[in-house]
Structure 1
Amino acid sequence: MAEWKQRLTEYLSYIGDNPIMHAFVIILASLVLAWILDKVVIAWVKRMTGKTEAEFDDQFVELLHKPLFYSILVFGISVAASIIKFPAEIGDVIFPIFYTILLVMWTMFALKVTKMVLQRMAGNQQHFHILHAQTLPLFENLALILIIALSVYYIFSSWDIDMSAWLASAGIVGIAVGFAAKDTLANLFSGVFIMADAPYKIKDYIVLETGERGAVTNIGLRSTRILTRDNIEVTVPNSVMGNTKVINESGGPSTKYRIRAQVGAAYGSDIDLIEQILLKIAKEEKELCSYPEPVVRFRMFGASSLDFELMGWITEPANRGRILHHVNSAIYKAFAENNIEIPYAKQDVYIKEFPGVPTDKSSQSKPIEANLESEKTMPKESS
């Protein structure tokens, strides 16, 4: 550094020994160099990048020229100020001001370029699986904190302020805050992992282990919000979401969801006719997908019925209840039109005697029979 200043002084000695004149020449030279770099070199680079299809290089050059121009200018001003040899009280103020200006300018440049790079990486999910639209705000905030922290550290260092005491105090405060807000920190870290792992995303239809079912409306750092079919918003802490079983009905390669309509037919029914009726109902239901095609399965021989299942695909899991209602209604009507019995449980109850009524031996040989109906499908029982 000393040799560089000595050579510069030798070159400036050709125009006299006046320090103010030397400072003026240095400032003028830095201004000319900055102008040439901005109007010639950067302009040429812009023309070269304009021929490419990518937009990132054009935006990068556009952001670079301004801090580069002022960096050369501020560097020349700082060199000129050192030649004039201001008193120490003034120099200790002027030079940190120059360095602070440069650091602020380059910090703004770094923030903008980092945001551009992260957005570009988020758009290419084939190579960057962790970084996507949902996790992009998280990475942008982390980059913002890191860049600003480094910038503040170097700005304080340029003013000869010792940061070790500040860092030690921050460590102690961080430990105290960690113990006091452990639940909040657990939610925070769980939110980071949820955003990175992406088991679900906004607008996905999920079912929690506790039974709540609804669409994800927000994934925050502290909690996840779900809007149920009853139009009730459920807020679940991320620490709970990270440690529970979550069924994502919208997951997979598409949002299609398969519904199942189960129905029983009496023994002796025509199973081929039942299959034809169920497939016809599936084809006539407009909200069932034609691909994959609906299918009918004869599942099992039940206790009192032949159990069938009609399976079809819908585009959105949220429509499951409404479409299943239409399908079940159509099945009931079609079975009634074709005289296909849907069996239900029957129980025969034999009453031997009533409490408080004298027993008649002749009546014991002729028990009273009553038929009762229940909802569950059960075989006939005698008691």
Structure 2
Amino acid sequence: MLDAIRQLFNAPEHPSIDAMIVLSMAIIIAFTVSYLIKWTFLAIAQKRGKPSLTFIFNAIRLPITVSIILIGLNSSLNVFELNQNLASKLISIFQSIDVIVWGQFVYRSSQFSLKQLSSRNQEGSIIRVQTLPLFENVSAVLVVLLIMYLLFITWNIDMSAWLASAGIIGIAVGFAAKDTIANLLSGVFILADSPYKIGDYIVIDSGERGMVTHIGLRSTRILTRDDLEINVPNAIIANGKIVNESSGRHIKSRTRVAVEVAYGSDIDQVKSVLMDEAAKETQICQEPEPRVRFRRFGASGLHVELLVWIDDPEIRGRVIDSLNSAIYKRFALEKIEIPFSQHDLHIKSMPKTPE
């Protein structure tokens, strides 16, 4: 091929001319391949609306072009009889450039893929908009480590000592930051599973109840009804039971108002009074409608529950207070007795009176 080109241009046989011919051929081939990809594969992907293929064909043009030019540059230098040490260093330099160029392609591809996966927002998927920054950073670190590893191999640097040091450091950091790592991993799964979102009212295992104001990778913040913000580590939440009062089929939730009436009370009258007071309450929903349930026979009286629905968990305390007050006043008017706790004391024998 080289002889044919030299004869075509009637060029004398000289190393410099041969090197220029080889390098020129490599540049021509590189740009031909680049524009071939642009005018064919990239154009077809854009026309058919394939964003993933469009990105790949657009991003891969640079590393392919650089690789072909570097191959041509290496071949052109082989025409000269270079010192073996110099030739080895030049080859290492060319390989290093190639590794870096392809490394940036892998980095850009990984970032693009993560963004595409997060935008789909699939149920149960770990990669979501909330967890995207974490995965982007992890991906970037892995790509950088891979590039460094390949560069060390290119320059024949022994990795044993580096890997041993990294292993020891990793174990030490793992032990020192095990709680932090546990919180971070729990935060990832909380953001992925979405058991709650900002604005939801939740009750955690320890009994705290409040509105979620922030969901981070390390902790979750809850604003209680006392206007106190609780910072709960994600590992505690992930390993415990969470009651989300704002989830379900809709934001409405059922509230129970438990009352106890004395034995002998007219149970139908009690139910009627409770339903009447529920109908007067403006803070509850009329659909589903309120209902009354006679639950059980207690030690001192009959246990009855008024079940009502509210639009927002935030007003639960106010609704229970309003209904309790109204029921207590109405029971007093209707002469419905609320029993005290009753206990029967049986004396088996009286102590002897001293003489």
TM-score tier, shorter chain, comes to 0.7 to 0.9
Distance 1:70 1:331, change over 3 A: farther
**1:276-310 Cα deviation digits (max 9, x unpaired):** 4245236x43xx45554443334445635662313
Secondary structure of the residue aligned to 1:154 is helix
| Paired residues of 1:344 and 1:378 also in contact (CA < 8 A) | no
Q: CA deviation at 1:113?
A: 1.9
Which residue is 1:270 aligned to? 269
Report the counterpart of residue 349 of structure 2 in structure 1. none
* TM-score, normalised relative to structure 1: 0.72
Question: Are 1:308 and 2:291 an aligned pair?
Answer: no
**Cα 1:105/1:259, change in 2 over 3 Å:** farther
How far the C-alpha of 1:9 sits from its partner, in A, is 5.6
User: What is the CA–CA distance in structure 2 between the aligned matches of 1:254 and 1:16, rounded to whole Å?
Assistant: 86
The counterpart of 2:167, out of the listed 145, 164, 171, is 171
1:260 and 1:311 in contact (8 A); partners too: yes
Contact (CA 8 Å) 2:201, 2:314: kept in 1 or not? Answer: yes
> What aligned pairs does 1:150-189 form with structure 2 within 5 A after superposition?
150-189=146-185
Matched, 1:23 2:19: yes
CA distance in 2, matches of 1:341, 1:63: 83
Q: Residue 55 of structure 2 corresponds to which residue in structure 1?
A: 59
Shift of 1:135: 3.4
**2:353 is matched with which residue?**
none
Question: Contact (CA 8 Å) 1:34, 1:70: kept in 2 or not?
Answer: yes
Gaps of 5+ in 1: 1-7, 346-376
Structure 2 residue 244 is matched with structure 1 residue 248: yes
- Report if aligned partners of 1:299, 1:309 keep a CA contact under 8 Å in 2: no
Q: 2:128 aligned to 132, 138, 145, which one?
A: 132
Amino acid at match of 1:273: S
Q: 1:206 and 1:48, CA in 2 relative to 1: closer, same or farther beyond 3 A?
A: same
Partner Cα separation in structure 1 for residue 92 and residue 294 of structure 2: 83
Q: Are residues 332 and 27 of structure 1, via their aligned partners in 2, closer, same or farther at CA, if it must alter by over 3 Å?
A: farther
Percent of residue pairs identical: 37
Superimposed CA distance per residue, residues 304-333 of structure 1 (whole angstroms, 9 cap, x where no aligned partner): 56623132142x433433444455566567
Deviations 1:206-229 (A, max 9, x none): 222222222334444443333333
1-structure distance, mates of 2:107, 2:3: 41
Separation in structure 1 between the aligned mates of residue 179 and residue 127 of structure 2, nearest angstrom: 26
Distance change (3 Å), C-alpha of 1:127 and 1:235: closer
Indicate the RMSD between aligned Cα atoms, in angstroms: 3.7
Residue 276 (structure 2) pairs with residue 280 (structure 1): no
The whole-number CA distance in structure 1 between the counterparts of 2:270 and 2:61 is 79
Q: 2:138 maps to what in 1?
A: 142
- Work out whether 1:111 is the aligned partner of 2:107: yes
Give the direction of change, closer, same or farther, for the CA distance of 1:332–1:54 in structure 2 (3 Å limit). Answer: farther
What SS does structure 1 have at the residue aligned with 2:232? Answer: strand
- 1:45 is aligned, of 37, 41, 45, to 41
Tell me the secondary structure at the aligned position of residue 244 of structure 1.
Answer: coil
Distance 1:76-1:131 versus aligned 2 partners, 3 A rule: same
1:161 Cα deviation after fit: 1.6
SS at 2:156 equivalent: coil
Query: How many Å apart are 1:260 and its aligned residue?
Result: 2.2
Alignment of 1:204-215 (within 5 A): 204-215=200-211
Q: Which moved more, 1:20-29 or 1:271-280?
A: 271-280
The letter of the residue matching 2:204 is L
Shift of 1:53: 4.0
Deviation at 1:156, TM superposition (A): 2.0
Report if aligned partners of 1:192, 1:221 keep a CA contact under 8 Å in 2: yes
Which secondary structure does the structure 2 equivalent of 1:270 belong to? helix
- Counterpart-to-counterpart distance in 2, 1:227 and 1:166: 47
The reply to whether residue 227 of structure 1 matches residue 190 of structure 2 is no
Match of 1:353 in 2: none
Cα distance in 2 for partners of 1:29, 1:128 equals 52
Aligned-pair CA distance for 1:264: 5.3
Change (3 A) 1:17 1:165: farther
Deviation for aligned residue 1:153? 0.7
- Matched residue, 2:253: 257
| Local SS of the residue matching 2:79 | helix
Task: Give the aligned partner of residue 34 of structure 1.
Answer: 30
Q: How many residues align?
A: 339
Q: Distance in 2 between matches of 1:106 and 1:342?
A: 84
Report the AA paired with residue 378 of structure 1.
S
**Structure 1 Cα separation of the partners of residues 303 and 47 of structure 2:** 71
* 1:378 aligned onto 2:349: no
Per-residue CA distance 1:34-83 (angstroms, 9 max, x = gap): 33333343133233222334433333333333333333333333333333
| 192-201 vs 103-112, greater mean Cα deviation | 192-201
Q: What amino acid does structure 2 have at the position aligned with 1:97?
A: I
